[in-house]
Structure 1
Amino acid sequence: MTETTGTRAGDAGAERETGAPAVATPTTAPAAAAARRGAGSPLAVGLPLLGAVIALAVWWLVTSVLELVHPASLPPPQAVWKSLTASADVLLPALGTTTMLTLVGFLLSTVAGVLIGMALAASRHVERMFSPLLVAVNAVPKIALGPLLVVSVGWGEKPILTMVFLLCFFPIVLSTATGLTTTPADLAELARSLNASWWQSFRKVRFPAALPQVFVGLKVAMPLAAIGAVIGEFYSDMPGLGYQILQYNGVGDTATAWAAIVLIAVMSIALYSALSLVERLALPWVRATTSAR
């Protein structure tokens, strides 16, 4: 009883000191410990590796044992690995180029998407004015814009970053606006009862409560960023993996083209996993306060 009273008094003192509501982030010890065990358990690494082994086994059976697909369309995994090692001096620098363009485009999309989502959440009139336009832009087939982007913004990085931006920004906008407009009623009432200003309420209640939704949009957008970078490289002179796919496929070297595709998949998995780690570190209370599978 004394410990509970002291905790409440500490929260009240923090509220008086900052002039804003102190949002409690309940972290029960069993839930937090279970979350840490789940993150560091062998299954967290073993199951993804098992899934990769199963996928490779199916690929090998389909192409090498059952021969259901012609090698010119889908080479067996051993041929792709041989081509990857033989062309590593070309593919690995291309991987670095594509990764850099993907990250830069994703960061630009994140900044713009969060700001646009905040604007939509702040005003119903703004949302009604611009939501149809955002939906229309998102509905346009992005691959059809590739040649037009080269004409509009020129060669180099600009058309690639523009393609990444066009593919990424909509889920980030939508998740940000949704998170900011679905603040839990008890937290919103707490902010009102303490006479918090709009900025204090936004900084201490609304935005922290929206962060899980924001990260959902970011995790949806991350693979789309890789897709956008590759599509942009199809119409650019940047020597990324998309450019190499076209070059090797054009000379009939489908094994090396598939090696580039495998590198794109590995890059996407690595970037998605890094983003999930950032979410886990930035929002430790989410796994501790929600039911875990």
Structure 2
Amino acid sequence: MNRNKITRWLAHYLPAIGLFIGFVILWQLAVSVFDIREYLLPSPGAVVQAMFSDEIPWLGHTWVTALEILGAFLIAAIAGVMLGMAIAWSDAMSRALTPFLVFVNTLPKVAIAPLFLMWMGYGIIPNMLIGALIGFFPVVINTAVGLTQIDKDLVDLGRVFSAPKWKVFWKIRIPNAYPYILSALKVTATSAVVGAVVGEFVASQKGLGYVIITTQSSMNTPVAFAALVWISILGLLLYGIVAMLSRVLAPWAE
């Protein structure tokens, strides 16, 4: 890595790193100056110690939550893109699907989660579906917008060359929608995390959300904060993967 690349990397990431370090310093100062009890707000050092403690099998719980998040993200992404394409392909499909999708999106997801438990029982799959249900709607809307908000000259050019509708759709409309879809996937990456953890709160015997719930009775706040940090790390990793994918598939949008 040459000097120019290092300089660009520092210019890009240094503000975020500085903000994070400042937040941790203020957190530590608040705990020390105001002498806050650990069960109310543990110090950063106590949280880091809990993150690597043998008291909790972190690897197993983190693996379960990671699978749920990834599954929720993939289901939301695939279903959202397919539904968005259906809406953009046909006006009749748009009129039929849009009101129904809005109705589904307005349903309170926390209230739906117990129903998933009744239908499917405990396990990873219900939590994936809850996460997907929370995260798919932005993908649907952005996909439909990206496929329809396109320069008419490009569509006319395809018609001049007698390209069939499906080819115009595949060669012109879908590449135009890349930035829209990838922007929505960044939102879905965080929504999938929320959905998976909500599912673990309602019905789970494993996972980081389950760790948070079980520590409430014992008021083991450092472990609860440690679980939150692990959840955030998983969310950041997924978001970073989507961001890298955006630079590959749609560098002009970046």
TM-score by length of 2: 0.91
Match of 1:114 among 81, 95, 114: 81
Match of 2:38 among 62, 71, 74: 71
The match for 1:191 is 158
The match for 1:263 is 230
Match of 1:212 among 157, 175, 179: 179
Structure 2 Cα separation of the partners of residues 87 and 255 of structure 1: 13
Structure 1 Cα separation of the partners of residues 5 and 148 of structure 2: 33
Letter in 2 for 1:49: I
The match for 2:108 is 141
Unaligned runs of 5+ in 2: none
Structure 2 Cα separation of the partners of residues 93 and 155 of structure 1: 17
The match for 1:248 is 215
1:53 paired with 2:39, answer no
Count of residues in Structure 1 that have an aligned counterpart in Structure 2: 251
Which portions of structure 1, spanning 4 or more consecutive aligned residues, are displaced by more than 6 angstroms?
Answer: none
1:182 paired with 2:149, answer yes
Q: Cα gap change, 1:38/1:202 in structure 2, threshold over 3 Å: closer, same or farther? A: farther
Unaligned runs of 5+ in 1: 1-35, 288-293
The match for 1:221 is 188
Q: Which moved more, 1:110-119 or 1:234-243?
A: 234-243
Structure 2 Cα separation of the partners of residues 106 and 62 of structure 1: 36
1:233 paired with 2:229, answer no
Q: Percent identity?
A: 33
SS at match of 2:52: helix
Contact 2:77–2:139, Cα closer than 8 Å, also in 1 = yes
Q: Cα RMSD (Å) of the superposition?
A: 2.1
Quote the offset at 1:189 in angstroms. Answer: 2.4
1:48-84 per-residue CA deviation (whole Å, 9 max, x = no partner) reads 22121122122222322245x6532322212211222
TM-score by length of 1: 0.80
1:133-187 per-residue CA deviation (whole Å, 9 max, x = no partner) reads 2112111111122222111221112210110111111111111111111112232
Contact 1:99–1:267, Cα closer than 8 Å, also in 2 = yes
The match for 2:241 is 274
Contact 1:176–1:213, Cα closer than 8 Å, also in 2 = yes
SS at match of 1:275: helix
1:196-234 per-residue CA deviation (whole Å, 9 max, x = no partner) reads 111221111100001100111111111000011111111
